[in-house]
């Protein structure tokens, strides 16, 4: 019975990008129709169909109207936000601001409220931007463009050879979308550790590496630096380039040698693959994070850890997949 609203498939997808619709574009179903008009029409259709049923009393109609109102609310307050669904000057400006490194939805809106309209405005006037956001504004057009795979490889080779010159025992890998086989990437993700079988570690290497790459003009800006440069686990975030090329976001993660496998899984991603693997581990009584696979982790009602548990695997990806009882997936297949 297609007149029952519960059974109508309206093909509504709350995420317009799933329908190929992006910021500043209109719905592709009808070039003269904005996404808002299209959505309103769909909801009207649902409403009319519902009212057309003779067995519905005024109370259930009111309840149904409220249901629709809730759905609209849900769309408008969804992760992309109201501006995503509109093709207005404000929507386009807020979208542009959201693409600045380190700027989220609410700050993008605040900048608009405070009168900013262009990237130039943000360069000229004081808006209380953080250090990272200022770099994001300064290098806006470079940082929003994708990095071709060959250029990722060039940056990786430059970083790797510097690291190996400093210590021939280091392990350096390129991770993220590059390892998953992407034709281009949003940033360059680098994982570093050191074979500790001779009793030495990579402690402090990140500092010398960043200094060396700065001297070579490969690293140009720092957005977030380790709180302790001499720790075994450090994260560095910044910007660099193949000398003469575009400015690119670079993330460098240093980790203890025995966590290599768990870190490989985490930093290869993608994020959805990681979430499903972690959920799967939990269902089997384990707990997986970027440091290792644990057993006996006790969690409170909020899901927070009460006990650390005991580590059962972390050195290789294969060890972790094997204990979980699933076959190892090639990184190219980790993009569900």
Q: Residues 93, 185, 234, 259: which binds ligand DCP (CB under 6 A)?
A: 185
| Cα four-point dihedral sign 118, 121, 123, 128 | negative
Which alpha helices (H) appear in the chain, and where do they start and end? Answer: 35-51, 58-76, 89-98, 105-113, 119-124, 131-138, 140-143, 149-166, 176-179, 205-215, 260-268, 271-283, 317-324
C-beta neighbour count of 52 within 10 angstroms: 9
Q: Least distance in Å: CB of 289 to Mn ion?
A: 17
The residue whose Cβ lies closest to Mn ion is 251
Which two structure tokens, joined as six digits, stand for 150? Answer: 């060959």
- Cis ω on the peptide bond leading into residue 270 (within 30° of 0)? yes
Pick out residues in 162-181 that bind ligand DCP (CB under 6 A). Answer: 176-177
Separation of alpha carbons 297 and 311, rounded Å: 10
Q: At 116, is the secondary structure helix, strand, or coil?
A: coil
User: In the complex with Mg ion, which residue's Cβ is closer, 147 or 324?
Assistant: 147
Given a contact cutoff of 8 angstroms between Cβ atoms, the answer to whether 192 and 253 are in contact is yes
Tell me if 251 contacts Mn ion by CB under 5 A.
yes
Does 289 participate in binding ligand DCP (rule CB under 6 A)? no
Q: Which residue has the closest beta carbon to Mg ion?
A: 176
Task: Determine which residue in the list 189, 239, 261, 324 makes contact with ligand DCP, applying CB under 6 A.
Answer: 189
Q: Which is nearer to Mn ion, 83 or 187 (CB)?
A: 187
Q: Are 236 and 249 in contact (CB under 8 A)?
A: no
267 lies in the binding site for ligand DCP (CB under 6 A): yes
Shortest Cβ 180–Mn ion spacing (Å): 12
State the Cα–Cα distance between residues 272 and 274, nearest whole angstrom. 5
Q: Give the tokens for residue 16.
A: 């317009």
CB burial of 281-320 (b: ≥16 within 10 Å; e: otherwise) equals beeeebbbbbbbbbeebeeeeeeeeeeebebbbbeebebb
In this structure, are residues 7 and 1 in contact, taking their beta carbons and an 8 Å threshold? yes
238 interface partner picked from Mg ion, ligand DCP, Mn ion, none, CB below 5 to 8 A per type: none
For residues 251 and 317, which CB has a smaller minimum distance to Mg ion in the complex?
251
Nearest residue to ligand DCP, by Cβ distance, number only: 269
How far is residue 241 from each of residues 123, 159, 178, measured CA to CA in Å?
Answer: 22, 11, 16
Provide the minimum distance between the beta carbon of 177 and ligand DCP in the complex, in angstroms, as a whole number: 3
Question: Does the protein bind ligand DCP through residue 269 (CB under 6 A)?
Answer: yes
CB of 305 to ligand DCP, least distance (A): 18
83 is a site residue for Mn ion (CB under 5 A): no
- At 57, phi and psi to the nearest 5? -90, 165
Partner touching 289 among Mg ion, Mn ion, ligand DCP, none, CB below 5 to 8 Å by kind: none
201 contacts ligand DCP (rule: CB under 6 A): no
CB nearer to Mn ion: give 83 or 251. 251
- Judged by the rule CB under 5 A, the positions of this chain that interact with Mg ion are 176, 187, 189
**What CA–CA distance (Å, rounded) separates 206 from 311?**
27
Q: Which string of x and - marks every residue 153-192 that binds Mn ion (by CB under 5 A)?
A: ----------------------------------x-x---
Stretch of 21-29, 118-126, 198-206, 261-269 contacting ligand DCP, by CB under 6 A:
261-269
Give the nearer residue to Mg ion in terms of CB position, either 176 or 309: 176
267 binds, among Mn ion, ligand DCP, Mg ion, none (CB under 5 to 8 A by kind): ligand DCP
Interface contacts to ligand DCP, rule CB under 6 A: 176-177, 182, 185-187, 189, 266-267, 269-271, 274
Interface contacts to Mn ion, rule CB under 5 A: 187, 189, 251
């Amino acid at each position: 019975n297609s007149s029952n609203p519960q059974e109508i498939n309206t093909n509504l997808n709350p995420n317009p990008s799933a329908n190929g619709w992006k910021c500043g574009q209109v719905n592709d179903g009808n070039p003269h129709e904005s996404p808002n008009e299209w959505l309103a029409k769909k909801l009207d259709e649902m409403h009319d169909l519902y009212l057309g049923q003779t067995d519905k009393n005024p109370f259930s109609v009111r309840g149904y109207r409220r249901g629709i109102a809730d759905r609209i609310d849900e769309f408008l307050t969804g992760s992309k936000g109201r501006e995503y669904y509109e093709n207005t000057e404000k929507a386009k400006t807020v979208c542009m601001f959201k693409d600045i490194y380190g700027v989220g939805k609410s700050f993008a809106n605040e900048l608009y409220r405070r009168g900013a309209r262009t990237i130039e405005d943000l360069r000229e006037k004081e808006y209380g931007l953080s250090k990272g956001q200022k770099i994001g504004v300064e290098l806006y057009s470079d940082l929003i463009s994708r990095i071709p795979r060959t250029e990722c490889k060039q940056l990786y080779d430059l970083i790797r050879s510097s690291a190996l010159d400093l210590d021939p025992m280091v392990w350096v890998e390129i991770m993220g979308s590059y390892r998953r086989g992407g034709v281009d990437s949003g940033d360059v993700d680098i994982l570093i550790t050191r074979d500790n079988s001779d009793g030495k570690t990579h402690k402090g290497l990140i500092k010398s590496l960043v200094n060396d790459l700065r001297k070579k003009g490969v690293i140009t800006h720092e957005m977030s630096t380790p709180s302790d440069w001499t720790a075994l686990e450090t994260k560095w975030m910044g910007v660099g380039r193949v000398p003469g090329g575009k400015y690119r976001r670079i993330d460098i993660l240093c980790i203890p040698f025995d966590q290599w496998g768990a870190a490989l899984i985490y930093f290869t991603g993608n994020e959805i693959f990681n979430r499903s693997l972690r959920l799967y581990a939990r269902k089997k009584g384990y707990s997986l994070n970027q440091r290792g696979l644990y057993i006996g982790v006790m969690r409170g009602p909020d899901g927070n850890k009460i006990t650390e548990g005991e580590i059962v695997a972390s050195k290789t990806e294969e060890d972790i997949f094997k204990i979980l009882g699933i076959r190892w997936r090639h990184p190219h297949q980790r993009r569900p």
